[in-house]
Structure formats: structure tokens, C-alpha cells
Amino acid sequence: MFIIKFITVFILSFLTASLNAQTNYYISENGNNNNDGLTELTPFLTINKGVLEVQAGGTVYVMNGTYRNISFNEDKELGVNPANLENSEVVNINKSGTVNNEITIRNLEGHTPIIEFDGVGGIKLSSGVSYIIIEGFEVVGASQFISYDQAMSNRADKVAAGTDPDDEITYNKKYFDGNGIFGFGEHSHIIVRNNIVHDTPGSGIRFNDSDYMIIEDNTVYNATWWTTSASSGIVFAETNPLPATDNGTDIKMIMRRNTVYNNWNRIPFYKTQLPDNSGNTNPDYGTAEYTNILDGQGLYVTRSDDNYNGTFLFENNLCVNNGKNGINFDNSLSASAIFQNNTLYYNGVHDIIQANSFEEGNIWHGGQKVGGIKANKVFSANAVNNIIVTRNNTDSDSIVSAIEFNNIYVYDDNFENIIGDGVYSAIDNLFLNGKLKNPDGVTNEFDTNNLVNIDPAFVNAPSIVDGAIDMSQTNFELMTNSPAINTGNPNYSPVTDIDGVPRPTNITDAISYSSFENSTDGWTQFGATVALSSEEASTGNQSLFTSERNFNYSSPRLFLDGLLTIGETYTFYVNVKLADGGTGTSEITIKNTLGDEVTYSNLTENGPKIVNNQNWTQLSGDFTYTGSDQIFVYIKGPTLADGAGSFYIDDFSLVPQDSDPVNFENISDDVIDIGAYESSITLGLESEQSLNNLVKLFPNPASSSISLIGVHNLKNIQLYDILGRQHLLKEHPQNVGKKIIININHLTSGVYLIKFNDQVIKFIKQ
């Protein structure tokens, strides 16, 4: 009897716990914390009450309204500092979800809640919190009510309090330093998406000591103006592996599809206790006498743990008019970064802002000469398919850097001795203005593999301004004549663009392939000159030409880092043809570096194969991957003894072992575009529309819903099948973030037309 009763109690307790774990709660500014919070009609008053009650797997839905921190002081609207400069954050998330059962704090669908703060910040994650999703909020700080004089006075107060390091720790006047969405202390598996964060004195979004983070689809602007902490729009700082045993090279830290603009620093950096691994050797760094502006980047990763091996992914971001670099990645000795399909425009505006401030009688804090993508003191960095437009200056000494890779290192196990050059590449990008610097500090070394000093032809990009840019008047999509269209590297291809529009993909099981129809596809020179050529082609119209060879190994090469799986065997294929007058052999070779050991593997079956200048010859060979720190494949041409002549390669395929090569006759010419936006043409328009009014529909085909981007004031919406029969909408279209979502679950499979605002678009319901 006791056993039966125990089992019954256990089952009831388990079911009760499970039900509580899945319970959702609702919040309204007209609610009451004495309600049960379980329905829209009985909501709680505060978000923190919802956080208190929710368990793993549950969601806190926040309805329309403005939610503020306790002691929020509205006197600042009169230009007066609040009486209390130590106000707390509005929301404190102090509990964790679990794997596949995250705790979600978000807007109720169709609602746009506002979180307004004048203290520590908007939404804070306590140390140790994991498996959290935050989405759908507008977070507003107090920057618009702060003046330069007030912020400098705050710095002076902090200096006075900081004569003793312990005093500075207790300096809690966070009014001038508050962050929007943030966490200090260990966090992992956090997603922050679809938020608008602005006018925060400190960072818009910032996480320290974290791992497995996704920051996506957010808009951050007018941040970091007044803090003394040298911060930036969106920041990962002091990243470390969580847990410590999970320290692979996988992509774990992601910033994608964010729009960041007008984020800059106005106040010189001050800190009594300097951060670890700062990398700054200036003896005045962070002292009371320090007058430099340091940061104000758009996206910033800094001071990762020296042993952190993970990869940071920056993709499909739009960075405009930020104070320093659009994207900066530094002081992360073991970490790597991939920068792909970002659009950066007129960043590096600190000197403009400082010039205006100086004219007003303030101290000069300028001197920045950067504005694009920068990587410094890191393990590796690869920039692919980015558009970077910097300020156009006639004074060469004032031209800012479009891309700058400095001190890309490989260290020994004690991080003391450089044992070789790290991996870096900048390929298939488009640059307008700006200097290009490789790790040796030499300019213009990336010209071969990029479009340099080419106008990307945006639909509506702004002119240089001496302050904030109004982004509502801009459009960074590509005009139909843009050179960035169909010229990206398909080996680096996000699934969608910044608006969620699908990028083109070709149907193939290949791990990597290169047709050289639109770009070098990631191939770079290895002791030779490589360039696209229309003189010869195995298929299509172009191939890759290798010339100016001075060594037997002089060749084209392709880095394979991150493409291969340990223990798997792969087959390589490539077509080779010699230039006129050339004779000799060719073969596929792998150079693999693992620690201090370097191995070379010649893959071509039966050794080097005879090639000629009359016909294309296919080389092939197998390779089993056992691990590496750096690995690339290169195609060797004739030896010096044979004349070391120039040669062409085309139709490269890297596939699983014994698979056929890619059929390049069936590969589409529609490859990924360079930049954050994938160009598209609206289908079925009854009349030609202005470029500014192009509408995108995705996905297409679709199963449950379609989204429209670029629609304003949606009206007269009608839905027809291909036979002209009208169908009613199941529910009213929803405005979510940057798109309008229309439910099509009720439709049967087939072809449909959606009409709106005198436009028509065809789509397929699966």
C-alpha cells in the first residue's frame, strides 16, 4: 500500500512539475502582481514577476506598454540629472532554462513593449544564467537627456573616487554607463533577437564571460556616447569556454543580421583597474590623464580568454556611421573569425564628431584612422563577400582603413613564442576608398581577389554627415547594375540575407566546388599570380589562370580549414590546361600543418599527370583527413626543369570519397551576392516599380506562411489561385520586425497570386 501511494504521489508531483515548466505568463502595464498571470485578462504588472514564476520551457509574454526601473526619474526631461544616479535595471533574469527547454522573455505577438531605463540598464542576465531567449522589445536608455558636460563631470567624479581601487569598485552611479541588454559573469546558450535598442549611455547589447551566444536581427543605434568604459554597439568581451572542457574550434559566438549605426564614444576611457589582456601599452591608458577615444565600434569582440579556441561568426550585418570600425575583433589569441556578407558604410566617424565637439570648446579626443573590418592579435581571420565603403578623403594620410589584419599569430602552448603565421584571407570583397592592410602592414596586397575602388551601387546610400544618419531615409540594397550581384564566393554563403531572403544555392553534395564564373571562389596565390581568365574554360566562360611562377610549388591554393571531418576520406577533382607553349605535368597536393609538423600529400593517382595546352586534363585523388591547425590544397604545374609555365585550372570539386565530380553544366550562374543584401526582382509586377519600392516575398515555395519585405501601409490585399478564384485570408497579416507575415496554412498546394497596393506576386504553396 505504501509503495502504491508513493508511486502515485511521485507521478502527480512529476506531472505537476511538468505542467509548471510549460506554463506561460502574461505581463501588462495595467496588470497586477496579485493576479495569476496566466491569461491576457489576468496579467502581472511587472516583467520580473513573470521571471519569478516561469520555469524552464515557459514563456513570459509582454504586452504593449512602457516598463521602467524602480525610482525612474522623469526630471531628466527638463535637462536635469535624476536625483538617484544608482537606479537598478528594469528586468533581472536570474534563472536558467535547460537544453531544448529555454526560458523565453518576449513580446506578445502584435505587441511592441518598451523598456525604458535611467540606471544600470534595461534587461540584465545574472551571472550563471543559461538557455534564455530575449526578443521583441524596444529598449531605451537616457542618452538623449545627457550632455557632454554632464558626462565629463561624471568622469571627474569617478576619477576622484578612484584614487583607491576599492573606491572605484563601489562607484555605482550607472546613469552614465547603463547598457541595454547585457550580462556580466558566465552565460551560455543565450539568444537575443528582434530587439530595437537605442540611446543607451553604454553598450546596446553586451555580454562578458560567455559562450554559445547568438545576437541576431537586432537594431542598435545611438549607443555608447557617454560611458567612460570605452564600449561599443554590440559586444562580446572576455569570452571563455563553458564548460572548460568544451573548447573546440566550432562556430559558437554569432552576430548576424543586425543593423548598428550612430554608435560612438564621446568620453575618454577611464578605469582604475585595467581589464585583463587589454593589449594597450600606453602608460597613460585608462588613467585620469588619458584623453583618447578608444572604441565606439559597431560590432566588437575583445579580450577573449587566451585559451578560447572557438570561432566567431559575423554575417549579414549592416554597420553604418559608427565611431570606429564597423566590425572589430582583437586580443583573442586562440580564437578565429569569419566575416561574411556584411555591409559597412562610412564608419570611422569619430574625428567628425570630435571636430564638432572641439568647435564647441570641448577637449579634442580624435585621431582614429579606421572604419572597416579589423582583426588584431587573433589566431585567424577570414573576410569574404563583404562590402566596405569608407570616407573619401583626398588627403592620403587621412584615408581610413577599409580592412586591416595585424598580428595574426600562431602561438605555442604557453602563448609565449610565435611559431608561425596564422591564417588570414580577404577574398571576393568589394572595397570603395580606404586602405587595405595585411598582417605585415603592407597596403594593397588583397587587390587580386577583391573588387577594389568599385562603387557597389546602393539604391539610396547617404552622403557623409557631421552627426547622426537618419537610417529611415536610406536603402542599402543593390541596384540592378551593381557589380556586387552574382560575384560572391559560394563557399562562404549564409542561408539568407539580412532580411531573411534566401541566398541562391546549387543542388550538389560537394563540400566545396569552384567554377570561376563569377569570382576566384576563395582560391589565392601561393608563390604565383592568380586571376580569372576568359581565354580558356573547361565549362562556362572563365577559368583561373596562374602565371609569374618562380618555384616548382608556385600555384593556386584553397584553404580547407573547417571544411573537413576527422577520419573521413574525400575525393578531389580539378581540370588543368597549360598555356600556349607549355609542357610538363600537374598534380593535386595537400599541405597540412599540425603543431610543429608539416606534411605534404600528393593526391594525383599514379603520380604527376602529363598535361598539355591543347586539351583539358582531369586530375583526381583521395585524401583522408586526420586533423590540422592549417590545411590547404594547391594545384602544382610544370616544374622549373619543364619550364614552369603558366596554366589554367577549372571545375574544381571536393566531394565525399568515390562521389562523382560536380556537373558544372547544370550549375546555375546565380551565385551569392556580395554584401548583406541579396538582390531580387519582384515576380509578376503588372507595371515596373521604382527600385525604392521593390518588394520581396519569401520563402517561395512556402508551407505555412509567407513574408513580405519592403511593404509600407499594406492595403487592398487579395489572394487568388492560378484559376483566378479568390481565397480569404485566415487571419490579419502581422507586422514582425522588418517584415509582414501572412498565414497560408489554410491553402491547398498549388500556385497562387497575392495582390496588394496595386502589385502582384506569384508564389507556390507546398
| The last residue of a domain, from among 661, 676, 700 | 661
417, pLDDT greater than 60:
no
Q: Kindly state the cell numbers that stand for 30.
A: 495595467
718 band by pLDDT with thresholds 50, 70 and 90: confident
Lowest mean pLDDT among 26-35, 138-147, 254-263, 588-597: 588-597
pTM: 0.76
CATH number at residue 756: 2.60.40.10
Tell whether 641 is covered by a domain.
yes
| Helix/strand/coil percentages in the chain, nearest 5 | 10, 35, 55
Please identify which residue in the block is written with the cell numbers 584614487.
Answer: 163
384, pLDDT greater than 70:
yes
Q: Residue range 582-595: average pLDDT?
A: 89
680 band by pLDDT with thresholds 50, 70 and 90: low
214, pLDDT greater than 80:
yes
Same domain, 702 and 569: no
Tell whether 93 is covered by a domain.
no
233, pLDDT greater than 70:
yes
- Strand ranges in 249-290 using DSSP code E only, listed in sequence order: 251-256, 259-261
Lowest mean pLDDT among 44-53, 447-456, 560-569, 576-585: 447-456
Tell whether 545 is covered by a domain.
yes
Same domain, 723 and 624: no
70 band by pLDDT with thresholds 50, 70 and 90: confident
Tell whether 642 is covered by a domain.
yes
Same domain, 630 and 723: no
| The last residue of a domain, from among 645, 661, 677 | 661
Same domain, 534 and 599: yes
**pLDDT at position 683:** 30
Tell whether 753 is covered by a domain.
yes
Range(s) of the domain holding residue 701: 691-765
**pLDDT at position 544:** 93
Tell whether 131 is covered by a domain.
no
Q: What is the mean pLDDT of the chain?
A: 83
Distance set, CA 547 to CA 503, 556, 575, 664 (Å): 33, 10, 17, 25
Same domain, 532 and 646: yes
Same domain, 536 and 652: yes
What confidence tens digit (pLDDT) does each residue in 394-410 have?
444 556 778 888 776 65
Same domain, 613 and 708: no
Q: Kindly state the cell numbers that stand for 236.
A: 562580446
Tell whether 646 is covered by a domain.
yes
**pLDDT at position 356:** 81
131, pLDDT greater than 60:
yes
**pLDDT at position 18:** 45
- What is the rounded CA–CA span in Å between residue 2 and residue 13? 16
Same domain, 647 and 757: no
**How many domains are contained in the chain?**
2
* Three-class SS of 349-396: CHHHHHHHHHHCCCCCCCCCCEEEEEEEEEEEEEEECCEEECCCCCCH
628, pLDDT greater than 60:
yes
CATH number at residue 577: 2.60.120.260
559 band by pLDDT with thresholds 50, 70 and 90: confident
Q: Residue range 197-214: average pLDDT?
A: 96
81, pLDDT greater than 70:
no
Q: Is the dihedral of CA 447, 448, 449, 454 positive or negative?
A: positive
Q: Residue range 565-573: average pLDDT?
A: 93
Same domain, 647 and 702: no
- Strand ranges in 257-317 using DSSP code E only, listed in sequence order: 259-261, 299-302, 311-315
**Cβ atoms within 10 Å of 496's Cβ, excluding its own:** 17
What is the percent of the chain where pLDDT is above 90?
42
What confidence tens digit (pLDDT) does each residue in 460-514 have?
998 878 888 999 889 999 998 899 998 888 777 888 899 888 888 766 678 888 8
**pLDDT at position 715:** 67
Same domain, 550 and 611: yes
197, pLDDT greater than 60:
yes
Same domain, 587 and 648: yes
What confidence tens digit (pLDDT) does each residue in 329-379 have?
998 888 989 999 999 999 988 888 888 888 888 888 776 678 899 988 888
Same domain, 731 and 594: no
279, pLDDT greater than 60:
yes
8 A C-beta contact, residue 489 and residue 513? no
Tell whether 549 is covered by a domain.
yes
- What is the rounded CA–CA span in Å between residue 749 and residue 765? 5
Radius of gyration in angstroms for the set of CA atoms belonging to the chain, rounded to a whole number: 28
